[in-house]
Amino acid sequence: MILKFLRLLKILRVAVQYGLDEIAFSGLRVPRTAKLIDTAFFWRDISAPRGLRLRLALEELGPIFVKFGQVLSTRRDLIPLDIVEELALLQDRVPPFDSDLAIAQIQRSLGDHPDRLFASFERIPVASASIAQVHFAVLKDGKEVAVKVLRPGMKKLIDEDVALMHIAADWIGRLWADSKRLKPKEVVGEFDKYLHDELDLMREAANASQLRRNFADGKLLLVPEMYWDYCSSSVIVMERMHGIPVSQIDRLREAGVDLKKLSSDGVEIFFTQVFRDGFFHADMHPGNILVSIDPATFGRYIALDFGIVGTLNDFDKDYLSQNFLAFFRRDYKRVAEAHIESGWAPKETRVDELESAVRACCEPIFDRPLKDISFGQILLRLFQTSRRFNVEVQPQLVLLQKTLLNIEGLGRQLDPDLDLWKTAKPYLENWMAEQVGWQGMLERLKAEAPRYTHVLPQLPRLMHRALSVAGEPDNTNNELLRVLIAEQQRTNRLISFVVYFAGAFAVGALGLQAIMRWRGLL
């Protein structure tokens, strides 16, 4: 209890020192309170920009608050742009913990000392972050690996700091006039779940395994293999990857890497993850990306750190693809209609008004190179427009927005002339053709075929049973009959479609053959 009280005092001291009250209380329902507090602390200097003061305060409060700032930096739908851009600069500047603690953690998790588990183990870590640190090692079969070890005592520290954040969020919700839109309780709850997910390293290992499987047959992205015999919730062992950090442009040029191709490959990787797989690496900042210079995989991206991934269902992918293609075609009416059809905008929203607002936001981005466009500014204006029309930004798309901004930054580094939209448009059009064209229909028929082969032989018996008890006042049988009739109608529609399609195809083929013969006679 004493430690919690001391921690609370430190948080209050840092808040006062950096003038966080001035940031928070500017939206109070009772503005006089803010003036009184500012008068009481007349001695402090809070002339620096508010975003800078907030970032410095979070860095002083430690790794959990740094993580919280990083999460806030993704919420451009909630946080003012000047604060978001400053929070995006937050880095996990955390000193490594003692190697003896790492060795003890490995021994507890894997059941033996690293010196017996591995042919060699480097005691000095190569990387350290707020949640874990990484040591290099070599397996007994000679394979080079990276050993990621969870920082000891993290769960207790997270629980204590997040509990204080929940209390603060509750007070902000009561006092802040703009709290209904900013949703402080929901933001802290999202952060709480995110942190506790990161505490289970098996989740990260599973994410990496899924991403590796998704790109196993491609030539764009490399993902380290996980060695499951050496993995637990607090220790994971993965293939060691060799490459040049993507941010080191001069080294990439010296190695002969084609930067323009690399930039377009990054866009293709992003859209492949989103629209083909619905599963994407959501922490694609330059620190987590290498470029291979091995002759066998030269020029491919290497992904690292899979603690944060995003998932999209079929509805999300369909909605996003429609919106992206409508943007590419400057069909802002379709964008507005898609928002209303999806239920994200109220049904009473006027299409023409939303269309006009979206056009004003997005028209400036087209026919210009990426170096002249700030997608952060565009997103901010879109979010402001969304709020004006009471559009709720969907939680599952927040990570996608963050990842898109990371892609923007990466593209600017590699190829300032890259046009993100023109690069992505052909890929999206092909994907849409596969989904809504003949190929997409055939794929869906293939997917449904096992179900029909199971149901069709049973239909006569089930129909007979249902009809034999149709006169009985039994709600269960009535419901069964309705289900069977609906299934029969669905089957009839499918059979009719196949018959009509086959007939039309045959007639068309015969007609084409007749025309060709007729032309031959002429």
* 57 in a known ligand binding site: no
Residue pair 274/316 in contact (Cβ under 8 Å)? The answer is: no
What tokens does 313 get? 């269902």
The two tokens of residue 28 are 């109070």
Annotated catalytic residue, options 283, 316, 415, 419: 283
* Residues pairing with 136 in the sheet: 146
Rounded to whole angstroms, the Cα distance separating 346 from 274 reads: 26
133 appears as a binding residue in the annotation? yes
Residue 131 assigned to a binding site = yes
Alpha-carbon distance of 58 to 251, in angstroms, equals 33
Cβ-based neighbour number of residue 242 at 10 Å: 11
Annotated binding residue 148: yes
The three-state (H, E, C) secondary structure of 299-366, written as one string: CCEEECCCCCEEECCHHHHHHHHHHHHHHHCCCHHHHHHHHHHCCCCCCCCCHHHHHHHHHHHHHHHC
Backbone angles phi, psi at 62, to 5 degrees: 115, 180
128 marked as binding residue: yes
- 356 annotated as belonging to a binding site for a ligand: no
Angle at the Cα of 318 from the Cα atoms of 317 and 324, rounded to 5 degrees? 85
Residue 497: phi and psi, rounded to 5, are -60, -45
372 labelled catalytic = no
As a whole number of angstroms, the distance between CA 16 and CA 502 comes to 76
169 is in an annotated binding site: no
Helix (H) or strand (E) holding 445: helix 438-455
Closest CA to 226 of 235, 122, 279: 235
232 annotated as belonging to a binding site for a ligand: no
Active site residues: 283
Instruction: Could you list the residues known to form a binding site for ATP, using ranges.
Output: 126-134, 148
Instruction: Could you list the residues known to form a binding site, using ranges.
Output: 126-134, 148
